[in-house]
Structure 1
Amino acid sequence: MSLIIAYIGKNGCVMAADKRKIGYFGDKENLEILEKELYDGIIISDDEFKKRADELGISVKITDDASKLKIVGNCIRGEVSTKGTFETRRRRIYGTTNGYQLVELLGSEVTSRNAGESGIIIFGNNFAKKMAETLISRKFKPSSSLKSKGEVFEEIINEVASKTPTVGINCDVLRQDPHFNTSQAQKHLNITIDNDIKVLVKFRQNLTEQLVQQSIEIEMANKVIDKGDVGRVVSVDGNILYVQLNDKTQAMDENWKKLAGPGQNVIMFTESENVKIGDKVTIKDEDLCLKKDKSSLKCDVILCSL
């Protein structure tokens, strides 16, 4: 669901990309029918697309604010991606003066990497790509400036967008023109791409850690005790109580790190003057209290089941 057009030559690099993203949800077979009609150019407008999706029982979300181009070092990076069940597939082009590289990734693992010196590269579905190629053959002038080439690419994207919902009319255009010969270009591309992929690896590691932490938080939140006995008083020091947790209770901090387990003591606070060693501590109606008289207690830990 993208169209990226890149020119790489001796005077620099220019890329243009639409900003459309489409999300689907529905029956797999009907999704395949809808995609085939889209990619065959049968569906022309957004309204037709939404109507056909409704007929097939497919829920769709269309946005036109995705950034598919980025300046990285002295290069421009264009990316299209497809989210699978477990991993995201990415296809990237990195371009600069006198050189480009095409990189394919599964997650953050490089599965393909090829280099070239010059040319026009197009990323898109077959219908959008063929239409763009036809328009380029009519409109593109090799001798024009990078700025003019970018304007032509933007016109082409808008024209393609008028014939298929897979491409949006919103468009980004970026240019780079460092002074590189072919050897310098590939050297710079190698360094830039390697560093860029390291950033992706780090991002995915951080994302994985966040997802693991969220999973832990959800799991522990489901274990928070809202009723039942949690322990007994083993020491009283004024309004400070030392409570030994029973064999089904553990104490966590606000980051879900374990502070005390079964048989270990935690500190609680009371305003009652009628606390005895051996008194049971319980949670009733989500309130921490003494079991014998419902005297309120407070603590700085989260009490959870094992």
Structure 2
Amino acid sequence: MEKMKLKSIYSEFRADLDYIERELERAVRSSSPLVEEASLDLLKSGGKRIRPVFTLLSSKFGECNRTDTARVAVPLELIHMASLVHDDVIDDADLRRGTPTAKSQWGNRVAMYVGDFLFGRALATIAELDDPGIHRVLSRTMIEICVGEIIQIEDKFAEEQSLRDYLRRIKRKTALLIASSCELGGLVSGAEPKIVRHLERFGYYIGMAFQITDDLLDFTATEKELGKPAGSDLIDGNITLPVIYALQDTELRPLVQAALAAGDDREPVDRLIRRMRGSEAITESRRVSNLYLDKALREASALPATADRDSLIRIAKFIGKRKY
């Protein structure tokens, strides 16, 4: 039902998205059959294409050019793909969206170089545009994503984390890339500076809501819906917002600690998941996600009243409320 809803929203600009998809496929072509196979496999493994969609819709607020929009949307999605490949190596993940990861199919070394190749292709694609402002936004985004990944590694299994620690981490991990998708869409189309600012803030707020919702789903969705075992983030030692709130609960705290120390034993993790569902930790996390969603919708409402703004709002509501 939810996937069908998103597809129906996308159908309004399917031709433009198909063009971006073809450009993505062209970007990952390589003289190395192995690199190309791994890159195409990752490209075709699914995903909502949220970032290209936001870039595309944001570009509609200026003089939209399909070719230039793709030259911004493609590198942003390549950066996202590269970060996923590196994440899977760091987390020793065998599945993503229900399909084998590059790491599980070709090993850590190949996977890391595939991620580096995708970063390189992102730079090569964006170089086709000569706007230094666009290059500054993209380079800043790449730097912050890398810093965020390092902080996430440093914070693994660290129970004493604050709400501020978590929000700063997901800002770098997720929100900045979505914010940049919206900002660059506006910049590449020559949209008015005021509109670009609203687009960038919209992307940031919806990116925060997106990641918090992802972290909630790790406890509330099924393995089939997630495409990986429920509780995977916790098993990997990632202290997400629901876990931070659970650690503040005297009854849930020992269950969280047992799950973090469980290793390959699923029972402590499954026990915590059962207790987490319906808990205040989930309710409070959802409240924070909704606060960011509301801020995103306010920024969108400040944009010119067009069909493209309405599409931004509908997609924002979908990803903020999705069940998987």
> Which TM-score band applies after superposition, normalised by the shorter structure?
under 0.3
Which has the larger share of strand? Answer: 1
TM-score (norm 2): 0.25
